[in-house]
Amino acid sequence: MGIRGEVRGWWERGRVLAADNPLLVDIGVALLVQGAMTMPFLVPRAPGMPPATWAAYGLSTLTAVPLVWRRRAPVAVLFAVLAANALYRLTVDGPGQPLPYTGLVVVYTIAALSAPRKRLLTGLLLVVAVPVGVWLNTRSARELTFSLFVFTAAYVFGRLTDARQRAHRVEAEQAAARERARIAREMHDILSHAVSLMIVQAEAGPVAVRAAPERAEAAFEAISATGRDAMAQLRHMLGVLRDDGDQSDGTAPREPQPGLAALPGLLDRVRDSGLDVAYRAVGDVRPVPEGVGATVFRVVQEALTNTLKHADARTVRVQLTYRNTELEVCVIDDGSGSRSASRRGGHGLVGIRERAAAHGGSAVAGPGAGGRGYEVRVRIPGSATAEVGA
């Protein structure tokens, strides 16, 4: 793991450096091609052949230099490379090259980065340039076949690179869309629950002031506590979105999302609003992964929020049932289930279904037994609830 991790780290840093400095990459490619083209000049030539000269080497270098601009003007670079190669073959008797390195690099670049019109122009140009180059060199069918093969391979590799990059971009866009939906869902749950509790407490406040002043004080304290809790959760969420470089002030701690351990506090806040909340856990209670715990918390929070907003209920029952095959979350109230069901089909229930589906589970919501009350039931499979490392 140590060596493999270091190699992976170096590879990732290299990819980031390449992405941030494309010109350095192109300079490196040009130098690498020039190094490959230098090899025939270092190998002793057969007796009777003219020696390799500095003029020939200078012209070979001239064919590699345009590669520095291969991304910015690939078609122009292709013309420059073809012209430099033609000049090399017509003016000097220098060593030949086993592969047309510069041409292959440019064709690959055009296939990977250029628009269809430029790719078509490149194909037409190569149909003319390759036979002409073979005629100026060996005039053999073998060289013509090999040249057509390697240029076609360079073009195919370029198109494959473009397809892979497009797939990566689509995947990144989809991941960003999923993250935006997740953030919107989290903010909806936090704000909807907090505002609903605050409205209930605020509406009860004036009545309590006249009938029981001590209860009014408790209501105002509950409003304050609910607001502070919502602000803390929002600060945490927005802090996670910020770059690491902006964390120096320490105002956005990266704490875990609320999970099963936070359920009692959530239920207490709802009880403070006047709703009678009963809670129990059934079965073999066991720890669950952090993500599942956060989902359970948000499901219960959203179900209770709907009860406060729509149900006109007096009591609500929250039950977690631990089975070997699944974890079931059930929230049932005694409010006006069938009459208010149509008003509960907004973003909250959609978010509950999305949260369940993210773990391979399911969610159903509707009037309770006999049309009395309202029920939200979520099932999460046991494979998702198994504690990591258990």
Segment (H or E) for 43 = none
Assigned token pair, 34: 């020039």
Distances (CA, A) of 184 to 190, 238, 257, 319, 347: 10, 12, 15, 27, 10
Pair of tokens at residue 7: 């190699």
CA–CA separation, 190 and 253 (whole Å):
17
Q: Is CATH 3.30.365.10 correct for 261-390?
A: no
Whole-number Å distance between alpha carbons of 6 and 12? 10
pLDDT, one tens digit for every residue, the chain (390 residues): 466 666 676 766 766 666 778 888 889 999 999 999 888 888 887 777 767 888 888 888 888 999 999 988 999 998 898 888 888 888 887 787 888 899 899 999 999 999 999 899 888 888 888 888 788 777 888 888 888 899 999 999 999 999 998 888 888 888 777 777 777 777 777 777 777 777 776 766 666 666 666 666 666 677 777 777 777 767 666 665 554 444 444 444 445 578 899 899 889 888 887 789 999 999 988 888 888 998 899 899 888 888 888 778 889 999 999 998 899 999 999 887 544 544 445 567 788 888 888 888 999 988 887 777 889 999 999 877 775 444
SS3 79: helix
Distance from chain centroid for Cα 347: 23
Distance, in Å, from the CA atom of 191 to the CA atom of 229, rounded to the nearest integer, reads 10
* Helices first, then strands: H and E counts in the chain: 13, 5
Provide the token pair at 53.
């000269």
**Which residue's structure tokens are 């140009």?**
125
Whole-angstrom distance, CA of residue 345 vs CA of residue 114 = 48
pTM value > 0.85 = no
How is the chain split into domains, by residue range? 2-139, 261-390
Residue 359: other Cβ atoms inside 10 A: 21
Query: What's the order of all strands across the beta sheet hosting 374-381?
Result: 276-283, 315-322, 326-333, 374-381, 362-367
